[in-house]
Structure 1
Amino acid sequence: MKRYFLFLFFLVVLSSNPLVAQESIRVVSDFEGASVRVLEIDQESRRISFMPGGDPERGWPCWWYFRVDGITPDENITLRLHGSLASVGKQKPLSASWAMPKYATYSVDGKTWNHSEAGRRDGEWMIYQITPETNSVYVAWGPPFTPKTAAAFVRKMGQRSPYATATELCRSRQDRSVPMLHIKEGDRSNKQRFGVWVQARQHAWESGSSWVAQGFAEWVLSDDEQASWLRKHAEIFIVPIMDIDNTATGNGGKNSIPHDHNRDWSATPHWNEVRAAQQNVKGLINEGRMDVFLDLHNPAPGDPSFFYVLPREMLKEPMISLRDRFIELAYSRISQIKPLIPMSNKPKVTGASYHPLWKQISTNWVSMHGNPHTVSLCLETIWNSKNSTTSGYKSVGANLAAAVREYLAERPVRP
């Protein structure tokens, strides 16, 4: 009997000792879009120190996304983030600020994404605290939007709406499908329709831009009467992810070797996605109906610029006044979404002083090769704010789509 009570005593002691009872926390990154370099896991303090992962030759190493297993539900986990030390050639490592959003993004099911409390900067580290109610949690730089997410969304829209067709832009260099949504309603011929091209994620780490594209598509396919007008008068193409390979493998994409997708709009594109997009856009140009081209991005951490455009002196009328009108309409709607503000309604120019390959930037290429009435814009959605969430991003997309409708409604209807 004495031994029995002694056994019970030690059992109680062991079960009440958190170092014994708690399972070891583990970092898992063997899934689509994941990226992390683990520096240390301190089991006693339940703290994970890490950097963004990714191959620097395949883009800026600022994206991070992984799962933490072995958590005791409702316990506090500390994430300790350091900027990547990787560099390409003689370039210095990327500034840590690109990898350090004010809020970490987390999910207990990999579907619904939330913000952590604001992170705390401690020297070269950013410290986030999360307290998941489950024994496993996904954490990321921003709300992930993977190739599987894109394929599922495009397929769902195609099944739900008689006006949407789930299709494929092309196969990537690594033979991945690049999902695309094609939208139109009614009996108008294509030549009677405005041409609208929307693409996101030419830089793989900019996950927020894909959610903006989703919000755009959801509004266009909604029951709103204005959305119906747009579907009846336009032919709309939406590509949620352009750099599909780097998005799948968790690489940053921007400034990848030999250059990223948004520096590839030349006479001989390197990337299959750019080549295919160019061919589609050229078709709209040849038919005289490349009306609105939108390339969706996320900017630098503190950049308030909302649109990036060619210098005015490089364009002719009516392109300048039409572009200014579209910016006015879009900004008046989107600037009301707080707290994505402050942002600037003064576009940033992307001419010769911006980048050596400035002529090969998508929106510049479309402006220089498009129709006289073409509006071609790069839209940057702020990622480092409290409202940089899936719902916040989709709200930007919905308002952008409504601005497209409002703008095209002012244009002469095609006979």
Structure 2
Amino acid sequence: MKALFFLVLGGVAAHAELRVVTDFEGGNAEVVTLDQEAARLRIMPALHEGRGWPCWWFFRLDGTKTGQKITLEVQGQTRPFRPGTVLAASWCQPDQAVMSQDGRTWTQTAKAERTAEKVAIYQVQAEGPSVWLAWGPPFVPATAESVMAAVKRTLGDEAERFELAKTRDGRAVNGIRIGKADAPRQVWVNARQHAWEAGGAWVGRGFVEWLASAEAKDFRSRCCVHFIPIMDVDNVTLGAGGKESLPQDHNRDWSDAPYHPEVAAAQKRLLEIQATRGLDVFLDLHNPGPSDRAPFFFGPFGFERMTGVQRDNYQRWMDLAAAHLTGPLKVEPKYRYATYVKTEEERGRMSSGWARAHGGEGTISITLETAWNTPQSTAENYRVVGAQVARALEAYLKEPRR
């Protein structure tokens, strides 16, 4: 159970006490100060030892009054998340945070004011006894379950839900297959290998909702998509960041002996797909850094030196993606490369590198990084991006495998 932070300053009536609550899926906040009289709260992301970056925050503020103005200050976590390394504050300070009056519908705050002490200040207004505040629109396991249940209800026998694996903490990592398992074209899509990157899961939601639409009927008749909305279920549930968790995060765990059971299970299924039908596309959904203001795809190292069918396939995907992802979050029309990963050994432990190495000549393996630090980075617009990716995929798979 997460901590319920309860701070009261003298002279404040009991019925007016502001309380920070994080006792729910994805909840995270460590209270630094709370001035009841001024309704001024400072938090930082709580540190979960060994569970990666302390950048995600999400809480409910109880005890508010209709029309009450709240000042929220967010600072970086001051303790190291690994020996000798404190995470830069910019990772937990979006230009616009999000707020909700009901915990379901999210709107962006006004742009944060930033101080010389590296504190981001958000001004919000409550419209009732509680207000929900978060780094970005939350997408927790319960959200994933409701999305997959709705897709299954819509598609009936055209979709099959499955449990990929149980996590090390015993939680289910669930997925959904859309289309016939033995379809001639095969696609694997997963999100949230880094738990804090909630935008990737919203993109995934838009993706599968398009696949369940009437527009995608022909696509479903010839293609099979295997979709995992949340890979790092444990850290998403806890509200931990996940990235650079110990001994390694999910996207550095694609070795011959994975630490995470869900990674091992994904590898097993992907090898079966490749052996029986051939894997056409592996797509990993992420969010990038705070300074990235447009979505982009990480492509394969050595792309510029590629020749023949492989290069043609990667270039055709990039061209189609650029033609379809036209806004409100417009994709960059050229691949980027994860040059910050310095060794071949580590590149091989990334999911995209593993899928590329274990796929066939006709497999493309790509990572979509959808910008989170823009006024357009909303739940609704993430879903638009997901639908646009799905339409690009439909166009890509209309040509026979090469």
How high is the TM-score relative to the length of structure 1? Answer: 0.89
Whether 1:125 aligns to 2:119 is yes
> What runs of 5+ residues in structure 1 fail to find an aligned partner?
1-17
Deviation per CA, 1:206-230: give whole Å up to 9, x if none: 0010011110000011011xx1121
Q: Which residue of 2 aligns with 1:104?
A: 97
Kept in 1, the 8 Å contact 2:280–2:401? The answer is: no
Q: Which residue of 2 aligns with 1:148?
A: 142
Deviation per CA, 1:107-164: give whole Å up to 9, x if none: 1211111111111112211000111211101111111111111122212211222222
Whether 1:300 aligns to 2:294 is no
Q: Which residue of 1 aligns with 2:6?
A: none
Kept in 1, the 8 Å contact 2:185–2:277? The answer is: no
* Mapping for residues 4-403 of structure 1, pairs under 5 Å: 20=13, 23-123=16-116, 124-162=118-156, 163-184=158-179, 190=182, 192-224=183-215, 227-303=216-292, 304=294, 306-312=296-302, 317-334=308-325, 336-338=326-328, 340-341=329-330, 344-350=332-338, 353-354=341-342, 357-403=346-392
Shift of 1:286: 1.0
Partners of 1:128 and 1:148 in 2: how far apart?
28
Partners of 2:83 and 2:401 in 1: how far apart?
53
Counterpart of 2:98 in 1: which secondary structure? strand
| Percent of aligned pairs with the same amino acid | 39
For 1:308, give the aligned amino acid: F
For 1:222, give the aligned amino acid: S
Kept in 2, the 8 Å contact 1:307–1:348? The answer is: yes
Between 393-402 and 116-125, the greater mean CA deviation after superposition: 116-125
Shift of 1:302: 0.9
Partners of 1:291 and 1:378 in 2: how far apart?
14
The root-mean-square deviation of aligned C-alpha atoms, in Å, is 1.9
Partners of 2:22 and 2:82 in 1: how far apart?
27
Deviation per CA, 1:15-72: give whole Å up to 9, x if none: xxx9659601110011111111100110111011010113142010000011100001
Shift of 1:316: 5.6
Shift of 1:400: 0.2
The size of the alignment, in residue pairs, is: 387
Shift of 1:193: 1.8
Q: Does the C-alpha gap of structure 1 residues 317 and 284 become closer, same or farther in structure 2, counting only changes over 3 Å?
A: farther
Partners of 1:383 and 1:37 in 2: how far apart?
23
Kept in 1, the 8 Å contact 2:300–2:365? The answer is: no
Shift of 1:317: 3.3
Kept in 2, the 8 Å contact 1:183–1:235? The answer is: yes
Kept in 2, the 8 Å contact 1:56–1:86? The answer is: no
Shift of 1:285: 1.2
Q: Does the C-alpha gap of structure 1 residues 106 and 74 become closer, same or farther in structure 2, counting only changes over 3 Å?
A: same
Kept in 1, the 8 Å contact 2:278–2:359? The answer is: no
Partners of 1:239 and 1:28 in 2: how far apart?
29
Partners of 2:295 and 2:143 in 1: how far apart?
28
> What runs of 5+ residues in structure 2 fail to find an aligned partner?
1-10
Partners of 2:389 and 2:108 in 1: how far apart?
24
Q: Does the C-alpha gap of structure 1 residues 203 and 182 become closer, same or farther in structure 2, counting only changes over 3 Å?
A: same
Shift of 1:344: 3.0
Q: Which residue of 2 aligns with 1:8?
A: none
Partners of 2:265 and 2:47 in 1: how far apart?
26
Larger-Rg structure:
1
Q: Does the C-alpha gap of structure 1 residues 91 and 317 become closer, same or farther in structure 2, counting only changes over 3 Å?
A: farther
Counterpart of 1:39 in 2: which secondary structure? strand
Shift of 1:352: 8.3
Partners of 1:21 and 1:87 in 2: how far apart?
36
Partners of 1:271 and 1:393 in 2: how far apart?
28
Q: Does the C-alpha gap of structure 1 residues 404 and 132 become closer, same or farther in structure 2, counting only changes over 3 Å?
A: same
Shift of 1:99: 0.6
Q: Does the C-alpha gap of structure 1 residues 64 and 156 become closer, same or farther in structure 2, counting only changes over 3 Å?
A: same
For 2:108, give the aligned amino acid: H
Shift of 1:375: 1.0
Kept in 2, the 8 Å contact 1:22–1:72? The answer is: no
Kept in 1, the 8 Å contact 2:27–2:239? The answer is: yes
Partners of 2:223 and 2:184 in 1: how far apart?
4
Partners of 1:131 and 1:22 in 2: how far apart?
18
Counterpart of 1:48 in 2: which secondary structure? strand
Q: Which residue of 2 aligns with 1:5?
A: none
Between 266-275 and 158-167, the greater mean CA deviation after superposition: 158-167
